[in-house]
Structure 1
Amino acid sequence: MRHASQYFPRHAARLIEEALADTRVVVVNGARQSGKSTLAEEVRKQQPAAVARFLDNPGTRAAAADPVGFLQHDGLMLIDEVQRVPDLWLAVKYLVDRDPRPGRFLLTGSARLLALRSLPDALPGRSETIELWPLSQGEIDGMPDGFVQAAFRHGAQLRAEAAGLGRRDYLARARRGGYPEAVHRDNDRRRARFFADMSRLAGAVGITVPTVRTWLRILETIFLIKLVPAWSANRTARATSTPKVMFLDSGLAGHLAPGAAPDTSSGRLIENAGEIIAIEVKSAETIRSEDFRGVRLLQRRLGARFRAGYVLYCGAESLSFGDGLVALPISALWTTPSA
């Protein structure tokens, strides 16, 4: 178990560094407690002559009363919790319009105020937003998370080394989730306290459909859920089909789902790990030919465009089921190199 002060290297760090090389303002957006401030500070440390301004400090916030003077600096400036001083938005725009060098500002803020999504509109052509999700299994374990790239590259020839994990291990990882604070805690009881603090959501009965849609948009804006469009080869059908609502963190989903005990219904937490084109995820430790039924249906519909089909399961073997179909351990998602 890592100590809470230890940093998990994030894949998004490379995206931020690339953006800073050619973009004036880079925004790190994401859910509360996903590690935005920690990641931004780690990136800042790698930049020569960079400085940081943390606006949760009352003294620093008071100094921002003169926004333009507050922002004067020759190198990169990290501004954490930028939404606490709304006047800084226009001051940043003013400065980067007059000095268009890339890598001027790295901003983080709280998505709960619903402000950061409007930032690109305030800074058109001047900013790039990097979304930070909870930790992936590869980030937690120091593994490559290269499955998707490898799947497109190798197709049905892709194989994965067994990670020594069984169904209980996968369910434990799903319950743990990827919020750094939850990962650092030693047991499910302590993690439950963390999730309880995040999940004070009120329920209601008899509400209208527009109200439900509004709530879903809010939950998506604050990075608790993701609306995944229904898949279809036809763009019109995809646009009109009902999307799936997916929790962005399996640990929080498990906390909110009553009765998600290790041996019963928590298989859904694993299957929530990802359902994308030609991939099925099963919580069973054995695999059967009929588990490929949905993938085969997709294969027939796609014809020559079908690259390969995978069923990810809780077993340890990589098994070919012929005609471009392969069963792999779920751990292939994070242990597989992208090359």
Structure 2
Amino acid sequence: MHTLINRTLTSSIIEKLKANPVVAILGPRQCGKSTLANIIAPTQKNMIFLDLERPSDLNRLNEPELFFSHNKEALIVLDEIQRVPNLFPIIRSTVDTNHRHGQFLILGSASEKLIRQSSESLAGRIAYIELTPFLFNEATRVPFLKDPLNTLWLRGGFPRSLLAKTDHESFEWRLNFIRTFLEQDISNLGIKIPAEHLSRFWRMFAHLNGQLLNSAKLAGSLGISSHTVRHYIDILRHTFMLRVLEPYSTNNKKRLVKSPKVFLRDSGLLNALLDIESANDLFAHPTFGSSWEGFVIEQILSLSPRFKACFYRNSNGNEIDLILQYKQKRVAIECKSSLTPQIRPGLMVALDELSIDQAWIIAPVEPGSSYPLSKRVTVSSLAKCIEFLNQSFL
């Protein structure tokens, strides 16, 4: 459990500290933010770490202006910053007085939107970075993972889950994470909602993973209003549990699907909510195909916040699981859980309708595998697709 894996974002955070007075690392609880801050520590002349959930550390900030002034040459790390929003104006005042970069590294378990509501006074002084649980290219660096792809897909990327000694130990950790998230973390963010209500909603979403969002139908099934459905979705989005993928839109009169798709972001939490404990359970589960789709989409979209992403589906059923756009480049991505995927006629029609030249079908094939199915369509492992995107898009 003491294995330290170098995170892809480490160098980016160090560079941002050289260029900004304040850097915020945001991500779900237990995803490795504190560990990453400690990995960065040796690159700094002096660093002070304060966990704002620890009473002894909070006591050190009884007079925050005095504490910050006394330690003005240090990089001050404030963990779980969303717990003490009244610090933000004082941070701004300190930053404006000291006039140097790399003064504060703040860590938060709520989204930029929620943090920004409290930190508006830091506009122009702060850079935001989202840290996800471990991604595939990071999992491949774990020396004792014999099958990084399937282990990551089953256990998810939270460090204590991925690095557990056994699948059962990982599963138990995730069940405890879900329980703590519902019973403590949500209320600690100031969100007042009964844990059992959000639990029912979250578990139902696990069964609907990757489907089109139908708020009215979901509301009817749960006996709540559509407004409450949207409120619960916002909660799970802003705590990094849920991803909403918007549909492709255009100004012309094509009849396109207008509802978004919704995915649980961490495949390990999805599996725990569905009571999937082993790889055999996963491979036999009715949600196997949608689970692979969500896993692949999350791995790809977490590579870079610069991607513009959507899916495409029209009234004739022609569909593309994921369209990525960066600057003037576009690529279509299909996610197929079969080891021998084939080209759907609807895919080719959709490519023609959108004038996209290149499509990748991502399947759970051998890590180094990729081969053409046609001039425009390539079957690929997740590893090869990530390699392509890093070389051609980023």
The TM-score bracket by the shorter chain reads 0.7 to 0.9
Name the residue aligned to 1:174. Answer: 153
Q: Amino acid of the residue matched to residue 254 of structure 1?
A: N
- Post-superposition CA distance 1:298-329 (Å, at most 9, x none): 320222xx241110112344221223211112
Name the residue aligned to 1:196. Answer: 175
Q: What's the TM-score, normalizing by structure 1?
A: 0.81
Higher mean alpha-carbon deviation, 184-193 vs 126-135, is at 184-193
Q: CA deviation at 1:57?
A: 3.4
Name the residue aligned to 2:229. Answer: 212
Name the residue aligned to 1:108. Answer: 107
SS at match of 2:199: coil
Cα distance in 1 for partners of 2:255, 2:76 equals 42
1:314-333 to structure 2, matched below 5 A, reads: 314-316=364-366, 317-333=369-385
Name the residue aligned to 2:66. Answer: 69
Q: CA deviation at 1:115?
A: 4.8
Q: CA deviation at 1:28?
A: 0.8
2:152–2:162 contact (8 Å) kept in structure 1: no
Cα distance in 1 for partners of 2:153, 2:253 equals 34
Q: Amino acid of the residue matched to residue 53 of structure 2?
A: D
1:228–1:245 contact (8 Å) kept in structure 2: yes
Q: What's the TM-score, normalizing by structure 2?
A: 0.71
Cα distance in 1 for partners of 2:178, 2:252 equals 35
1:1-339 to structure 2, matched below 5 A, reads: 4-72=1-69, 73-111=72-110, 115-142=114-141, 170-200=149-179, 201-203=198-200, 205-234=222-251, 241-258=258-275, 261-265=282-286, 266-272=288-294, 273-274=296-297, 275-277=321-323, 278-290=332-344, 293-303=345-355, 306-316=356-366, 317-334=369-386, 338-339=390-391
1:25–1:105 contact (8 Å) kept in structure 2: yes
Cα distance in 2 for partners of 1:129, 1:239 equals 34
Cα distance in 2 for partners of 1:235, 1:220 equals 30
- When residues 238 and 188 of structure 1 are mapped into structure 2, their CA distance, relative to the original with a 3 A threshold, is farther
1:175–1:269 contact (8 Å) kept in structure 2: no
Q: CA deviation at 1:172?
A: 4.2
Q: CA deviation at 1:18?
A: 2.3
Cα distance in 2 for partners of 1:174, 1:37 equals 24
SS at match of 1:298: helix
Cα distance in 2 for partners of 1:179, 1:58 equals 26
Higher mean alpha-carbon deviation, 10-19 vs 253-262, is at 253-262
Q: CA deviation at 1:249?
A: 0.6
Cα distance in 1 for partners of 2:106, 2:254 equals 38
Q: CA deviation at 1:239?
A: 11
SS at match of 1:338: helix
- When residues 28 and 238 of structure 1 are mapped into structure 2, their CA distance, relative to the original with a 3 A threshold, is farther
Cα distance in 1 for partners of 2:255, 2:159 equals 34
Higher mean alpha-carbon deviation, 77-86 vs 171-180, is at 77-86
Q: Amino acid of the residue matched to residue 6 of structure 1?
A: T
Q: CA deviation at 1:279?
A: 0.4
Q: CA deviation at 1:58?
A: 2.3
Q: CA RMSD in A?
A: 2.9
Q: Please list every run of at least 4 consecutive aligned residues from structure 1 whose deviation after the TM superposition is greater than 6 angstroms.
A: 235-240
Cα distance in 1 for partners of 2:141, 2:362 equals 21
- When residues 283 and 130 of structure 1 are mapped into structure 2, their CA distance, relative to the original with a 3 A threshold, is same
1:230–1:244 contact (8 Å) kept in structure 2: yes
2:174–2:269 contact (8 Å) kept in structure 1: yes
Cα distance in 1 for partners of 2:83, 2:68 equals 15
2:77–2:105 contact (8 Å) kept in structure 1: yes
Cα distance in 2 for partners of 1:33, 1:211 equals 27
Cα distance in 2 for partners of 1:59, 1:331 equals 45
Q: CA deviation at 1:237?
A: 8.9
SS at match of 1:44: helix
- When residues 12 and 295 of structure 1 are mapped into structure 2, their CA distance, relative to the original with a 3 A threshold, is farther
- Post-superposition CA distance 1:24-58 (Å, at most 9, x none): 11111111111111112212321122332233332
1:283–1:314 contact (8 Å) kept in structure 2: yes
Q: Which runs of 5+ in 2 are unaligned?
A: 180-197, 202-221, 298-320, 324-331
> How many equivalent residue pairs?
309
Cα distance in 1 for partners of 2:98, 2:244 equals 38
